[in-house]
Structure 1
Amino acid sequence: MSSRIEILNEGGFRSDGRRQYELREMTFDSTAQAGADGSARVAHGLTEVLVSVFGPREARVRAQTLHDRASIHVEATIAPFSSTSDRRRRGRGDKRTLELAATIKATFEPVVQTSLYPRSQIDIFVHVLQQDGGVLQASINATTVALVNAGVPLADYVCAVTGGVHAAAPMLDLTSLEENDLPHVTVASMPRSGHLTLVSMETRLHVDRFEEILRLAGEAGPVIHKEMRAVVRQRTKDLLDGMGKGLRESNPAEAMIEDE
């Protein structure tokens, strides 16, 4: 397959200055959203996703209640201003948003320990704010952090990355420009066990290249996991510090002792 654009220049650099295997800059913000039990705003380069989690809570629709475990409900929306090339307003019935929601649900159903919460539901709301490739990977990574912040028990973190192939050479963490021109696959792995919970491929890919991308995605998983753990630990520290401050304020005598 010949590329219509210059994916790699003569020096081996991509259009944004990265090497083939380099990931874009990642930012994770777990500042709580009003009313949500857990939330996370994640950016991979220019792609940005906000996820809010509610629950586990009592199931609202009796017909959908599972008596032995919690049900997972996912809704996705894509902001019309999120892409410079596609400004269509996508409603709840839009095919792309439905597929995004269904993929996220299928990714996390084997990971969330739903058996601990029978007859309840966990609601996950995914809002794509800006897209420049890797929307699915960003949505999965944001969902992982939001679930952890909500206190939902997981078998492991889920870390996702997109891989593609250019001139028989694999690449990681594709931009929109690269996704539009290259065969690619999104892989979600669990870093502790090394197991895969998602392999999503919408384009044809040679089996040899596929195996190589899986290997590289497995190596990228721990890098993303480290970033996730750092933001979760910082949020936990902030919560504990806040609780300690509240206790000191409610007990002036204890505060005086600490000050001394």
Structure 2
Amino acid sequence: MASSSRVEILNEGGLRVDGRRPYELRSVSMTFSPQAHADGSATMQQGLTTVTVSVFGPREPRSRANAIHDRANLVVEVGVAGWSQPGVGQRNRGDKRLTEVGATIRQTFEPVIMSHLYPRSEISIYVQVLGSDGGILPTAINATTLALIDAGVAMTDYITSLSVGLHLTQPLLDLSSPEESDIPYLVVASLPGTGKVTLATLETRIHVDRFEEMLAVGVEGCKILKAEMEGEVKKRTGTMVERMKLNALPDRAGGMKDSDRDILMT
């Protein structure tokens, strides 16, 4: 006899455990958080899942053996803070699951980063999970996109990612942890500009027709998420431009620094 569901995935009103409708995303918060020595960094919060990513590079490889003559070598490491999951201690880089997440992130971004522009260099991405309530991989992918943009690394497009679950015949977007534990789900990452899918990972067998429907829902959700991320990037860019303008103003004595004059000329 099949066991009953641990949670009520959809109530009679068509609402989920946290009150969302099937295609409704969790609340999203994005910040660019400068970190010492990092070339780019960003924190992404989707619901109660929080991930911060730091990017170092492009820079000289830490080992010459890691240098690739015609493109950059992409290195991804993932860690989980001990407080992010109750009852779980600090998980280190050697953890098998974290290694798999890091490898998935690397494989997702390698075709999109214009690595040929940075031959014989290394781009290091450090992912730290600070809070976990479902969707760790999609949140990490989204935070990585923002951190790479902050670092000025050239990419062909944003990569945005979401999870898509299936309750009976109803797809659900952006799963929380209780939903992930109870229903089959797919993680989708796509290039919203073209709709091209760069990642589709599913750990449970489902009918191919349902898979195609879930994939389509995920791609559409990724487009919505890109609009929010793009808005935050534009806001960040506007703030940086304003700071440059202020730095370029003449000093109180009426003179102008050489560095400020150079900024105005460009």
Letter in 2 for 1:101: G
- 1:144 alignment counterpart: 145
Q: In 2, Cα distance between the equivalents of 1:251 and 1:76?
A: 48
Give the superposed CA RMSD: 1.5
Percent identity for Structure 1 against Structure 2 = 50
Q: In 2, Cα distance between the equivalents of 1:164 and 1:250?
A: 58
Q: In 2, Cα distance between the equivalents of 1:209 and 1:252?
A: 70
- Report the alpha carbon displacement of residue 251 of structure 1 after superposing the two structures with TM: 7.4
- Report the alpha carbon displacement of residue 74 of structure 1 after superposing the two structures with TM: 0.4
- Report the alpha carbon displacement of residue 208 of structure 1 after superposing the two structures with TM: 1.6
Do the aligned partners of residues 96 and 250 (structure 1) sit closer, same or farther apart at CA in structure 2, a change above 3 Å counting?
Answer: farther
Q: In 2, Cα distance between the equivalents of 1:236 and 1:15?
A: 37
Matched, 1:201 2:199: no
Q: In 1, Cα distance between the equivalents of 2:245 and 2:255?
A: 11
The answer to whether the 8 A contact 1:137-1:186 is kept is yes
- 1:104 alignment counterpart: 105
- Report the alpha carbon displacement of residue 96 of structure 1 after superposing the two structures with TM: 1.1
The answer to whether the 8 A contact 1:21-1:171 is kept is yes
- 1:49 alignment counterpart: 51
Q: In 2, Cα distance between the equivalents of 1:254 and 1:44?
A: 48
What SS does structure 2 have at the residue aligned with 1:5?
A: coil
Gaps spanning 5+ residues in structure 2: where?
Answer: 257-266
Q: In 1, Cα distance between the equivalents of 2:66 and 2:8?
A: 50
The answer to whether the 8 A contact 1:187-1:199 is kept is yes
- 2:193 alignment counterpart: 192
- 1:26 alignment counterpart: 28
- 1:157 alignment counterpart: 158
Letter in 1 for 2:42: A
- Report the alpha carbon displacement of residue 100 of structure 1 after superposing the two structures with TM: 0.9
- 2:182 alignment counterpart: 181
Q: In 2, Cα distance between the equivalents of 1:163 and 1:220?
A: 9
Do the aligned partners of residues 252 and 70 (structure 1) sit closer, same or farther apart at CA in structure 2, a change above 3 Å counting?
Answer: farther
TM-score (norm. length: structure 1): 0.94
Deviates more, 1:128-137 or 1:55-64: 55-64
- 2:173 alignment counterpart: 172
Q: In 2, Cα distance between the equivalents of 1:142 and 1:180?
A: 23
How does 1:1-260 map onto structure 2 within 5 Å? 3-84=5-86, 86-250=87-251, 253=254
Q: In 2, Cα distance between the equivalents of 1:165 and 1:250?
A: 61
What SS does structure 2 have at the residue aligned with 1:41?
A: strand
Number of residue equivalences: 254
- Report the alpha carbon displacement of residue 252 of structure 1 after superposing the two structures with TM: 5.3
Q: In 2, Cα distance between the equivalents of 1:122 and 1:203?
A: 33
Letter in 1 for 2:72: A
What SS does structure 2 have at the residue aligned with 1:248?
A: coil
- Report the alpha carbon displacement of residue 6 of structure 1 after superposing the two structures with TM: 0.7
- Report the alpha carbon displacement of residue 224 of structure 1 after superposing the two structures with TM: 0.6
Gaps spanning 5+ residues in structure 1: where?
Answer: 256-260
